[in-house]
C-alpha cells in the first residue's frame, strides 16, 4: 500500500542504510519491501511509538532484512519465487509430517539423514526436527532453553551437517521444519550472561526487577505453566542480584519484546534459520510473547502484532518460508494466530490444532464423540491461506483446553469431566486400559494434564501385557483410526516419531535426575531400530501399525478432497459413538469423501438417511477408500467396525 508518511520514511531509511548494502542487486528485495513497508512501519510504531530512536531502530531493521536477503542462497531465492507463483502449495493433501528428536530418533544429523529413506517408506515428506540448537548440558527443557541461537548443539552435529540435511531433503521434495524459541533464552545465553555481569543493554533484553513489588503484581494474574517443577513466574538470580521473569522453567528467561532491540535480534535469527534451509519455522510459545500486569499475559494483542511484524518482514527477505504457531490456547484464541483481524493469513500460516487433539482423547476415554462434535462445531473457520497441523500426540502433554460451554452442551460438568479424563488416562480407574502419567498437577487450581505415549494411552501397552489377541487388534485399530481422522480432517497431519511403530511408554526418565520431575519424558523414546525391523514381519503390531499408516498416507495423497480449503462439513448422526464429516474436492465439489470413525469397541451403524439420505452420497455402490471394500448399504445403513474408520467415496 502507498501511504506518503511511510513512503517518505522508507526513502530516508534507504538513504541511511550501510553503503555496502546499496551496492548489491536488490531488485526483488525492493519490490517486496515497498509492498510491505506501510504495514511494517505501522506495526513497529504500534509497539514502539514511545521510543525517540524509532527511526534509528527502523534503519537497523531494514538493514537486517537487506543483509539476510543478500545472504540468502540463490537456490532458496528461486524457491521463494516459485512459491510466490503457487502460494497455496502447502494446502494440498500431499504433505504428511513427522516430529522427531534427531538424537533419539537417529543419533547425529548425518544419522538422521541416513534415516530419510525410512520416512519416505512411510510417506512422510515434512520433518520437524525438534530443537537442535546449543543448550546447556543437564536440564534444558528438551532443547527449548537455547544458549546460542546461531549454532547447532555439538551433541546433534554441525551447522554444515544441518545445511546438508536441508539440501538433501529439498532435493527429494521433503520439507524441513526447525524450531525458533522466540519467547525465551537459556540463562546460559550470552545475553543473559551479560545481563548478569551488569550490562544494562542486555538487562533490558529481559524482565528483571530489583525487588518483589512488580513481580508480585504480575503474579496476581499470571497462571503457572509448570506448577510442579517450576512454581511461580520469577526466579531470583544471585549474580544479577535481581528477580527475572521465568514463565516456564527457572532457567528459561523470558525475552522483553518491549525493547525493539529484542524484536530485531529475533527477526535476524528467524531469517538466519530461513537462510540455512528451513522451509518452515516453528515459533515456540507464541501466546506468551507480551507480558502485561493485571492479565494472564497470554494471547495479548501485542503478541499478535509481533507475529504480524515477523511475518511482514520475513515476506520481504524469505517469502517462501512458512511459520507454525505453537499456541496451545483456548479454541477461540488459536485461530487468531493465523492473523487477528486479517482476511488472508497474516501471522502464521500453520497452527497446531490442539483443540481437536484434546477432543480426540476425550472421545477415546468416553467412547463417545459428542464433545468432539461440539468442540469442532465451535472452532472458528480458518482464514484463507491458513492450515492446521493436526496431530494425535506430540512431545508435550495433553492439556484439556476445550471450552467449558462445549463440555456443558455435551452433557457433562466441566470440572468433574476434566478430572475424570485425567484419572482415566493416568491410572485412576481399574477398568481403563490407558497407561499415562499426570503432568502439571496444580493443587491450588485442581488443573492437571496428561503425559504418555500414544500406544500406551490407547491401551496397547496393557493389551500386550494381557496377551489377549483380540484386544491387541482393537487397540491397533484405535491407533489407526485416530491417525485416519487427522489425515482426513483438513490440514497437515503431523505424526510423532515412534507412533508409527506403536512405541510404548519409556519409563527410564525416572532414573535421570534432569528428567524425573518432568513426566513428558515418558513419551520421548529412543527408537529401537531392531524393533523397527519388525515392521516387515507380518502379524507383529509394528507391521500392522506401520503398514496401516503407510497405506492411509498413500490414499490421502491421492485424495484431493483432503486438501485444506475449508472444505469440510461436520455431520451429526444420531449414533454418538460416531464422528463423521464430509470432505469435498475444492475444484470438483461433487467428488466427496465421507469420513466416519467409530469410538466404540463394538460395531456401530451409520444411518445415511439421517444425514440427508442415501442419494446425497451417490447413487451406486459405496466404497471404502482405505480397505478398497464395497460397503453394504442395506436400508441406507453402513456398519462401522469397532474402533474403525471408513473413508467412503461419495460421488
Residues carrying an active site annotation = 284, 326
**Near ligand GLC by CB under 6 A, which window of 42-50, 137-145, 161-169, 491-499?**
137-145
Q: Which CB atom, from 395 or from 625, has the smaller least distance to ligand GLC? A: 395
Asked whether position 277 contacts ligand GLC by CB under 6 A, the answer is no
- Cα separation of 63 and 65, whole Å? 5
DSSP class of 220:
T
Q: For the residues of 597-635, what is the DSSP string, one character each? A: EE-SSS-EEEEGGGGT-GGGG-SS-EEETTT-PEEP-GG
Pick the closest to residue 319 from 114, 7, 29 (CA basis): 29
For 102, 118, 154, 426, the CA distances from 113, given in Å and listed in that order, are 9, 10, 17, 36
Q: How many residues of this chain bind ligand GLC (CB under 6 A)? A: 10
Q: Which CB atom, from 76 or from 448, has the smaller least distance to ligand GLC? A: 448
Q: Which CB atom, from 131 or from 490, has the smaller least distance to ligand GLC? A: 131
367, containing H or E segment:
none
Among 148, 300, 396, 471, binds ligand GLC (CB under 6 A): 396
**Near ligand GLC by CB under 6 A, which window of 15-23, 55-63, 139-147, 455-463?**
139-147
Give least dist CB 225 to ligand GLC, A: 7
Angle, helices 541-557/469-488, rounded to nearest 10 degrees: 20
For 95, 112, 131, 168, 550, the CA distances from 102, given in Å and listed in that order, are 20, 6, 9, 16, 21
Q: Enumerate the H helices of 197-296 as residue ranges.
A: 200-203, 213-219, 260-275
Q: Which CB atom, from 284 or from 542, has the smaller least distance to ligand GLC? A: 284
127: which strand partners?
98, 176
Place of cell 496444580: 442
Give least dist CB 285 to ligand GLC, A: 4
**Near ligand GLC by CB under 6 A, which window of 140-148, 480-488, 591-599, 613-621?**
140-148
- Cα separation of 443 and 616, whole Å? 51
166, containing H or E segment:
helix 159-171
Asked whether position 333 contacts ligand GLC by CB under 6 A, the answer is no
Asked whether position 398 contacts ligand GLC by CB under 6 A, the answer is no
- Cα separation of 118 and 292, whole Å? 46
Q: Which CB atom, from 395 or from 435, has the smaller least distance to ligand GLC? A: 395
Q: Which CB atom, from 136 or from 623, has the smaller least distance to ligand GLC? A: 136
134: which strand partners?
148
Asked whether position 143 contacts ligand GLC by CB under 6 A, the answer is no
- Cα separation of 495 and 370, whole Å? 25
Give least dist CB 324 to ligand GLC, A: 11
Asked whether position 141 contacts ligand GLC by CB under 6 A, the answer is yes
Q: For the residues of 340-375, what is the DSSP string, one character each? A: TT-SB--S-SEEE-HHHHHHHHHHHHHT--HHHHHH
- Cα separation of 26 and 549, whole Å? 46
Asked whether position 248 contacts ligand GLC by CB under 6 A, the answer is yes
Among 326, 542, 604, 624, binds ligand GLC (CB under 6 A): 326
Asked whether position 477 contacts ligand GLC by CB under 6 A, the answer is no
**Near ligand GLC by CB under 6 A, which window of 22-30, 141-149, 201-209, 563-571?**
141-149
Asked whether position 564 contacts ligand GLC by CB under 6 A, the answer is no
C-alpha cell at position 308: 504480524
Asked whether position 284 contacts ligand GLC by CB under 6 A, the answer is yes
Q: Report the site for ligand GLC in 410-439 (rule: CB under 6 A).
A: none
- Cα separation of 537 and 533, whole Å? 8
Q: Taking CB positions, which residue lies at the least distance from ligand GLC? A: 144
Q: Which CB atom, from 123 or from 331, has the smaller least distance to ligand GLC? A: 331
Asked whether position 144 contacts ligand GLC by CB under 6 A, the answer is yes
Give least dist CB 553 to ligand GLC, A: 24
Q: Which CB atom, from 143 or from 548, has the smaller least distance to ligand GLC? A: 143
Give least dist CB 443 to ligand GLC, A: 21
Can you give the binding site for ligand GLC, defined by CB under 6 A? 141-142, 144, 181, 248, 284-285, 326, 395-396
Amino acid at each position: 500500500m502507498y501511504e506518503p508518511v511511510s513512503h517518505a520514511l522508507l526513502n530516508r531509511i534507504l538513504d541511511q542504510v550501510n553503503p555496502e548494502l546499496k551496492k548489491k542487486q536488490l531488485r526483488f528485495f525492493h519490490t517486496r519491501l515497498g509492498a510491505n513497508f506501510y504495514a511494517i512501519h505501522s506495526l513497529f510504531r504500534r509497539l514502539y511509538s514511545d521510543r525517540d530512536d524509532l527511526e534509528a531502530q527502523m534503519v537497523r531493521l531494514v538493514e537486517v532484512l537487506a543483509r539476510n536477503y543478500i545472504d540468502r542462497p540463490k537456490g532458496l531465492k528461486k524457491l521463494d519465487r516459485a512459491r510466490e507463483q503457487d502460494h497455496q502449495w502447502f494446502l494440498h493433501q500431499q504433505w504428511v509430517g513427522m516430529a522427531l528428536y534427531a538424537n533419539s530418533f537417529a543419533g547425529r544429523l548425518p544419522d538422521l539423514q541416513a534415516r530419510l529413506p525410512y520416512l519416505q517408506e512411510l510417506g512422510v515428506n515434512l520433518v520437524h526436527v525438534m530443537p537442535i540448537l546449543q543448550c546447556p548440558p543437564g536440564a534444558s527443557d528438551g532443547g527449548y532453553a537455547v544458549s546460542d541461537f546461531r549454532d547447532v548443539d555439538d551433541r546433534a552435529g554441525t551447522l554444515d551437517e544441518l545445511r546438508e540435511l536441508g539440501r538433501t531433503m529439498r532435493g527429494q521434495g521433503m520439507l524441513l521444519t526447525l524450531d525458533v524459541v522466540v519467547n525465551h533464552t537459556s540463562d546460559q545465553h550470552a545475553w543473559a550472561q551479560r545481563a548478569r555481569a551488569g550490562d544494562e543493554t542486555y538487562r533490558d533484553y529481559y524482565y528483571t526487577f530489583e525487588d518483589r513489588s512488580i513481580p508480585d503484581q504480575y503474579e496476581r494474574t499470571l497462571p503457572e505453566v509448570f506448577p510442579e517443577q517450576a512454581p511461580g513466574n520469577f526466579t531470583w538470580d544471585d549474580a544479577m542480584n535481581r528477580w527475572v521473569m521465568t514463565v516456564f522453567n527457572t532457567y528459561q528467561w523470558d525475552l522483553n519484546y518491549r525493547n525493539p532491540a529484542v524484536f530485531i535480534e529475533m527477526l535476524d535469527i528467524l531469517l538466519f534459520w530461513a537462510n540455512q534451509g528451513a522451509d518452515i519455522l516453528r515459533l515456540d510459545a507464541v501466546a506468551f510473547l507480551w507480558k502485561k500486569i493485571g492479565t494472564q499475559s497470554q494471547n495479548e494483542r501485542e503478541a499478535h502484532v509481533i507475529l504480524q511484524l515477523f511475518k511482514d518482514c520475513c515476506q520481504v527477505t524469505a517469502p517462501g518460508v512458512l511459520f507454525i504457531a505453537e499456541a496451545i490456547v483456548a479454541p477461540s484464541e488459536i485461530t487468531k494466530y493465523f492473523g487477528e483481524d486479517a482476511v488472508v493469513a497474516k501471522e502464521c500460516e500453520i497452527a497446531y490444532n490442539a483443540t481437536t487433539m484434546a477432543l480426540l482423547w476425550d472421545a477415546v476415554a468416553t467412547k463417545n464423540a459428542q464433545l468432539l462434535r461440539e468442540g469442532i462445531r465451535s472452532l472458528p473457520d480458518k482464514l484463507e491461506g491458513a492450515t492446521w497441523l493436526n496431530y494425535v500426540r506430540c512431545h508435550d502433554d495433553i492439556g484439556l483446553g476445550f471450552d467449558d460451554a462445549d463440555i456443558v452442551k455435551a452433557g457433562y460438568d466441566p470440572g468433574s469431566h476434566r478430572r475424570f479424563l485425567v484419572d482415566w488416562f493416568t491410572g485412576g480407574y481399574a477398568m481403563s486400559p490407558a497407561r499415562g502419567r499426570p503432568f502439571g498437577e496444580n493443587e491450588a487450581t485442581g488443573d492437571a494434564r496428561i503425559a504418555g505415549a500414544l500406544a500406551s494411552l490407547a491401551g496397547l501397552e496393557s493389551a500386550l501385557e494381557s496377551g489377549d489377541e483380540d484386544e491387541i487388534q482393537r487397540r491397533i485399530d484405535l491407533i489407526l483410526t485416530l491417525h485416519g481422522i487427522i489425515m482426513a480432517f483438513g490440514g497437515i497431519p503431523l505424526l510423532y516419531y515412534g507412533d508409527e511403530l506403536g512405541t510404548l511408554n519409556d519409563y527410564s526418565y525416572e532414573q535421570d535426575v534432569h528428567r524425573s520431575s518432568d513426566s513428558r519424558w515418558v513419551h520421548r523414546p529412543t527408537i529401537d531400530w531392531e524393533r523397527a525391523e519388525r515392521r516387515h514381519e507380518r502379524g507383529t503390531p509394528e507391521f500392522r501399525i506401520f503398514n496401516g499408516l503407510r497405506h492411509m498416507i498413500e490414499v490421502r495423497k491421492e485424495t484431493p478432497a483432503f486438501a485444506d480449503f475449508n472444505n469440510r462439513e461436520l455431520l451429526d448422526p444420531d449414533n454418538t459413538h460416531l464422528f463423521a464429516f464430509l470432505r469435498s474436492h475444492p475444484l470438483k465439489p461433487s467428488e466427496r469423501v465421507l469420513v466416519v470413525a467409530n469410538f466404540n469397541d463394538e460395531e456401530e451403524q451409520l444411518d445415511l438417511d439421517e444425514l440427508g439420505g442415501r442419494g446425497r452420497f451417490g447413487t451406486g455402490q459405496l466404497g471404502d477408500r482405505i480397505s478398497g471394500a464395497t460397503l453394504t448399504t442395506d436400508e441406507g445403513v453402513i456398519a462401522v467396525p469397532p474402533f474403525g474408520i471408513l473413508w467412503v467415496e461419495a460421488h
